[in-house]
A and B are shown apart, each in its own frame.
Chain A
Amino acid sequence: MSIRLRANGSFTKVGAIATILLILFAIPVAADVAVQNFMAAEVVTVDACFTKTPGADATSVTGFFSFDDTTTVTDDGVDLLQETSTIRAFAGDRLLYSEAVDFNNACGNDLTLTFLSTDDPAGGLALEPATGGIWDDVNVSFYLADPAGVVVPGLPGTWVEMMNVSGGVVTTPGSVVIADGTTSTMAVVVDTDDAVTIGATGTLRWIAAADHG
């Protein structure tokens, strides 16, 4: 069986059917694959435009509040900065840090900042210990300076409460808009029960999410 059986080279019935089937297969495929949409994403690394830097409480006073911006946490082989603060809490006292960390916006547009309580990529829990421990005796509130905020007794200016740990429960009630080219300072207020176990430690982990939408 061949497409052209006859000596004069004309198509037989079988040859015609085979050729028509070939056309019906090949031409639509050719017409369909004639166009392909290849999308590409080019990743360009630049310096971060939204940064956290130590405030005056970390730079001018030692032993109370520290800020380390070199600690990293590994996610799928990539080391991500995990800025880490150490906050000293006094048993039986309320301690206020009014200039703990500066959040700097140099992104070219305003940023809306929220705090999200979450585990870190390496498996560190959002709240350690998850229940009990130090959190039975310590409440912590984090504020960001905002002209549209409210007065917090003991802190200068006006503030928006971004995150609170009270009775071992974490809430993230607020958000702040940081205008382009400006800085918003984070304040921390720590209330510690007088019966707290001296030397007890706890850890909070969260994300400072900046959205320009």
Chain B
Amino acid sequence: MTAISSNTSESPRSTPSKFQDEINYDELVISAAKAALLVLGVKVLSVLVLAQFFEAPIRFELWRGILPHFAFSTTPETFASIVTWSTIAMASAALVLAAATVARTTDRDRQRLWGRLIAGVVVLETLALQVFRQPQGGPSVQWQWSWLVVVTGVAGIILLAVPLWTERNETIRSAQIKADAEANTGEQS
């Protein structure tokens, strides 16, 4: 078994440059799980804070006795506000995570970047679900503010995608230079 490691990685488990079966993908999975749980946690926390802000009575219930969720006894307008602004908070968390990851230039593990990019995707998926899920009594989101979720979520994805793309091009260019150099050496000998 060949151990392939990244020259930019600080994690001994991480191997970013090639996705072949010998590669250890722990860093990718752990990073994605942490990022997704972070935005989910921000969502739940912001829902509680917003419910307090809007003075919306909130209950903890189990859907079909299994799935835990919050239930509000409030107007559709207030409910849509809580859903929308908690999703904006979620998107903001994804953007902050992306910015923090990119800012730490010594910690640019390629798998970690991919993993944290998942946060932005999760945010956009959540918004899509909220838009398509139409509860009784009115819309589930405030249309006039939902664009903030899209802009913030996409910004987070782009922030992480840029170094991933740049590094990929640099790797290809380095490989090309190395191949050219080897070819030249062969011709000279």
| Inter-chain contacts of B126 with A (CB < 8 A) | 27-28, 31-32
Contact A10 B26 (CB under 8 A): yes
Verify if A61 is at the interface (C-beta below 8 Å from B).
Answer: no
Of B36, B83, B129, B133, which is within 8 A of A23 by CB? B36
Smallest distance from the beta carbon of B1 to chain A beta carbons, Å?
A: 9
Residues of B in contact (CB 8 Å), total 47
Binary per-residue interface labels of chain B (53-81) against chain A in the complex, 1 for a CB within 8 Å, 0 otherwise: 00000000101000101111110100100
CB-CB nearest 9 A-B residue pairs: A16-B25, A28-B125, A37-B79, A11-B25, A32-B129, A27-B36, A28-B126, A31-B126, A10-B24
A selection of 7 A-B contacts at a CB cut-off of 8 Å is A16-B29, A28-B122, A32-B133, A35-B47, A35-B83, A35-B86, A36-B70
Binary per-residue interface labels of chain A (6-29) against chain B in the complex, 1 for a CB within 8 Å, 0 otherwise: 000011110110011001100111
Segment touching A, from B13-21, B95-103, B162-170, B171-179: B13-21
Contact A35 B82 (CB under 8 A): yes
| Inter-chain contacts of A30 with B (CB < 8 A) | 40
Closest to B138 in A: A37
Contact A31 B32 (CB under 8 A): no
Verify if B39 is at the interface (C-beta below 8 Å from A).
Answer: yes
Residues of A in contact (CB 8 Å), total 24
Contact A27 B69 (CB under 8 A): no
Tell me the B122-164 residues at the A interface (CB within 8 Å): 122, 125-126, 128-130, 133, 135-137
Whether A19 contacts B76 in the complex (CB less than 8 A), given A31-B126, A32-B129, A34-B44, comes out as: no
In the complex, what distance in Å separates the CA atom of A11 from the CA atom of B130?
32
Verify if B181 is at the interface (C-beta below 8 Å from A).
Answer: no
Chain A binding site: helix, strand, loop or mixed by DSSP?
helix
In the complex, what distance in Å separates the CA atom of A193 from the CA atom of B61?
71
Contact A35 B25 (CB under 8 A): no
Of B23, B73, B74, B128, which is within 8 A of A13 by CB? B23
In the complex, what distance in Å separates the CA atom of A19 from the CA atom of B32?
9
Of B21, B76, B118, which is within 8 A of A37 by CB? B76
Verify if B49 is at the interface (C-beta below 8 Å from A).
Answer: no
Smallest distance from the beta carbon of B173 to chain A beta carbons, Å?
A: 25
Verify if B88 is at the interface (C-beta below 8 Å from A).
Answer: no
| Inter-chain contacts of A37 with B (CB < 8 A) | 71-72, 74, 76, 79, 135-137
Contact B63 A34 (CB under 8 A): no
In the complex, what distance in Å separates the CA atom of A140 from the CA atom of B69?
62
| Inter-chain contacts of B4 with A (CB < 8 A) | none
Closest to A39 in B: B137
Most chain A CB within 10 A, of B29, B90, B130, is at B29
In the complex, what distance in Å separates the CA atom of A29 from the CA atom of B29?
19
Closest to A18 in B: B29
Contact A28 B129 (CB under 8 A): yes
Contact A23 B21 (CB under 8 A): no
Whether A34 contacts B47 in the complex (CB less than 8 A), given A13-B21, A20-B118, A27-B122, comes out as: yes
Tell me the A21-60 residues at the B interface (CB within 8 Å): 23-24, 27-40
| Inter-chain contacts of A15 with B (CB < 8 A) | 25, 29
Closest to B130 in A: A32
In the complex, what distance in Å separates the CA atom of A84 from the CA atom of B126?
58
In the complex, what distance in Å separates the CA atom of A30 from the CA atom of B129?
10
Contact A33 B67 (CB under 8 A): yes
